[in-house]
């Protein structure tokens, strides 16, 4: 049923799937997982970290807004110690000198 409702491009993708031992094109969950794997974009961690480190606090942006944006950017960076990286970046890039002193 699935293949009758999808576009021709999806059928071509389906036809190119390969299956491991024990998997089959007749298993709906296997086919759906393969479509999810195919459609999920590959993340470039180096580029995500570049974006994180390039992000600076803008004029008029509160520290809360800045930290929120940093947390959002850090989610894609696969940092081992995400909170420490956010804190360090705030110390390096924050425009509030008193806050920098408090964090160091």
Per-state percent for the chain, helix, strand, coil, to nearest 5: 65, 0, 35
pLDDT digits (tens, 9 = 90+) for 3-44: 667 777 888 888 888 888 888 888 888 888 888 888 877 789
Residue with more model confidence, 102 or 81:
81
Do 27 and 60 lie in one domain? The reply is no
List, for residues 43-79, the tens digit of each pLDDT value: 899 999 999 999 888 888 888 898 899 999 999 899 9
Which residue range(s) make up the domain with 63? 45-103
Is residue 81 scored above 80 in pLDDT? yes
Q: Both 71 and 56 in a single domain?
A: yes
As to burial, measured by CB atoms within 10 angstroms (0-12 exposed, 13-18 middle, 19+ buried), residue 66 is buried
Residues 97 and 49 in one domain: yes
Specify the pLDDT at position 85.
92
Q: Verify that 30 and 60 share a domain, yes or no.
A: no
How many domains does the chain divide into? 2
| Per-residue pLDDT at 42 | 79
Question: Is the same domain home to 89 and 53?
Answer: yes
């Amino acid at each position: 049923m699935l293949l009758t409702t999808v576009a021709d491009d999806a059928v071509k993708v389906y036809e190119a799937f390969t299956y491991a031992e024990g998997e089959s094109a007749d298993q709906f969950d296997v086919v759906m997982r393969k479509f999810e794997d195919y459609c999920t974009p590959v993340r470039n961690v180096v580029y995500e970290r570049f974006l994180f480190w390039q992000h600076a606090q803008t004029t008029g942006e509160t520290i809360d807004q800045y930290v929120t944006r940093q947390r959002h950017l850090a989610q894609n960076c696969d940092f081992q110690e995400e909170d420490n990286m956010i804190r360090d970046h705030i110390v390096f890039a924050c425009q509030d000198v008193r806050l920098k002193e408090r964090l160091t």
